[in-house]
């Protein structure tokens, strides 16, 4: 098996320093724009923008963009090591541990947590108490052989993955994770798949660009379409499909006219009733007269 052309892509934190892309690809291997794209997907895989609770299960991510593929897993660091997995306050740390591969060199990928445990033991533990200026590595080539771990190769299982970047698809969670990754490898177009999400709104969040996702508890196929506005992909508003030209909806003005007429009649009726009530009240209003002594007030009714 030939050696893969791949660099480490790891996003986590250590005891003292906050979350960052600790192992980032070199600029000549991956452009800054594409690195930002992959970084957002890595962040999304560990709920770093939400951070509600510990991740329930490892989340496998496969994302192909152009000539590069990001493959890895988002999880609690404790799943990879019994030590060096909390920050200085004792809070459990999470991370995305991945490799960025040149598509021309991909023969297989290591679908095995033991592979990532090896990465952690070899490259993360030694940096756990490193100061800020040392807690960052760039352009580090993958130096662990894949063949000693469980690997998968490109294989089609007829899963019909979505490759349209303008929408996200949630797959039935009965799909096996290894088959999903193998299917993604066999797909010729740009594609991304992620497993283990806990909320479908997470899968549909356009900033992560997850084309396909498995969400815990969702057992049916769903799709969500996005629209582009000013170059930014946004969730599509169902009202956008409604006709906006009155010529396409000629009955709308008539309905509005009837509504305005009803309101006007109601106002007129209310005014008439108010006038009648006021006239009746005036007819029975007592007239006040001074008594001869000037110390009291006597009332007399208006003669009708």
128-169: pLDDT as tens digits: 999 999 999 999 999 999 989 999 999 999 999 999 999 999
38-51: pLDDT as tens digits: 999 999 999 987 76
Residues 142 and 95 in one domain: yes
Tokens 């991740």 belong to: 55
| The pLDDT value given to residue 270 | 81
Judged against a pLDDT cut of 50, whether residue 72 lies above it is answered with yes
Strand partners, 98: 9, 72
Judged against a pLDDT cut of 80, whether residue 76 lies above it is answered with yes
- Rounded CA separation 118/8 (Å): 13
Residue 270 lies in a domain: yes
**CA distance readout (Å), 79 to 58, 74, 76, 276:** 8, 10, 6, 81
Residue 144 lies in a domain: yes
Residues 279 and 197 in one domain: no
More confident position, 290 or 21: 21
Tokens 């909806």 belong to: 249
**Token pair in block for residue 174:** 């009965």
Of the listed ranges 96-105, 164-173, 260-269, the least confidently predicted one is 260-269
Residue 1 lies in a domain: no
- Rounded CA separation 160/16 (Å): 44
Mean pLDDT of 8-33: 97
Residues 203 and 150 in one domain: yes
Residues 221 and 294 in one domain: no
Residues 226 and 257 in one domain: no
Percent of the chain with pLDDT over 90: 65
Strand partners, 89: none
| The pLDDT value given to residue 132 | 93
| The pLDDT value given to residue 220 | 87
- Rounded CA separation 180/232 (Å): 28
| Domain final residue, candidates 239, 256, 289 | 239
Q: DSSP string spanning the chain?
A: -PPP-EEEEEEE--SSS--EEEEE--TTTS-HHHHHHHHHHHHHHTTTTT--S--SS-EEEEEEETTEEEEEEEEEGGGT-SSS-B-TTSPBPEEEEEEEEEGGG-S-B---HHHHHHHIIIIIGGGTT--GGGS-EESPBP-S-STTS--B------------TTEEEEEPTTS-HHHHHHHHHH--S-EEEEEEES-HHHHT-TTT--SEEEETT--S-EEEEEEEETTEEEEPPGGGGS--SGGG-TTHHHHHHHHHHHHHHHHHHHHHHHHHHHHHHHHTPPEEEE-SSSSSEEEEPPP-
Judged against a pLDDT cut of 80, whether residue 23 lies above it is answered with yes
Residues 155 and 228 in one domain: yes
Residue 61 lies in a domain: yes
| Domain final residue, candidates 208, 223, 239 | 239
**Token pair in block for residue 36:** 């930002």
156-212: pLDDT as tens digits: 999 999 999 999 999 998 899 999 999 999 999 999 999 999 999 999 999 999 999
Residues 228 and 117 in one domain: yes
- Rounded CA separation 304/244 (Å): 63
- Rounded CA separation 80/114 (Å): 8
Residues 177 and 36 in one domain: yes
Q: DSSP string spanning 152-211?
A: B------------TTEEEEEPTTS-HHHHHHHHHH--S-EEEEEEES-HHHHT-TTT--S
- Rounded CA separation 161/169 (Å): 8
Residues 60 and 162 in one domain: yes
| The pLDDT value given to residue 3 | 65
Please calculate the CA angle 46-52-56 and round it to the nearest 5 degrees: 55
Contact 95, 23 (CB under 8 A): no
Domain with 262, as residue range(s), is 247-300
Residues 178 and 293 in one domain: no
Q: How many domains does the chain have?
A: 2
- Rounded CA separation 142/123 (Å): 11
């Amino acid at each position: 098996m030939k050696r893969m052309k791949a660099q480490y892509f790891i996003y986590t934190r250590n005891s003292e320093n906050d979350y960052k892309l600790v192992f980032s690809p070199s600029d000549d291997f991956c452009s800054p724009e594409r690195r930002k794209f992959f970084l957002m997907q890595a962040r999304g895989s560990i709920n770093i923008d939400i951070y509600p609770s510990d991740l329930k299960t490892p989340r496998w991510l496969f994302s192909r963009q152009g000539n590069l593929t990001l493959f890895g897993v988002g999880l609690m660091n404790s799943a990879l090591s019994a030590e060096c997995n909390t920050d200085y306050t004792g809070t459990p740390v999470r991370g995305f541990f991945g490799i960025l591969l040149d598509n021309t060199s991909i023969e297989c990928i290591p679908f095995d947590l033991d592979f990532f445990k090896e990465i952690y033991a070899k490259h993360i533990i030694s940096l756990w108490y490193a100061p800020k200026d040392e807690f960052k590595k760039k352009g580090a080539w993958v130096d662990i052989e894949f063949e000693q771990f469980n690997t998968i190769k490109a294989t089609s299982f007829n899963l019909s993955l979505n490759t349209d970047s303008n929408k996200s698809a949630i797959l039935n969670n009965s799909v096996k994770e290894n088959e999903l990754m193998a299917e993604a490898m066999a797909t010729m177009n740009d594609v991304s798949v992620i497993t283990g999400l806990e909320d479908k709104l997470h899968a549909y969040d356009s900033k992560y660009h997850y084309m396909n996702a498995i969400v815990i508890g969702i057992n049916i196929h769903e799709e969500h379409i996005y629209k582009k506005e000013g170059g930014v992909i946004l969730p599509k508003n169902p009202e956008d499909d409604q006709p906006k030209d009155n010529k396409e909806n000629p009955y709308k003005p008539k309905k509005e006219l009837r509504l305005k007429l009803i309101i006007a009649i109601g106002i007129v009726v209310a005014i008439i009733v108010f006038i009648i009530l006021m006239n009746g009240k005036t007819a029975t209003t007592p007239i006040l007269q001074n008594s001869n002594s000037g110390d009291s007030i006597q009332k007399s009714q208006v003669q009708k």
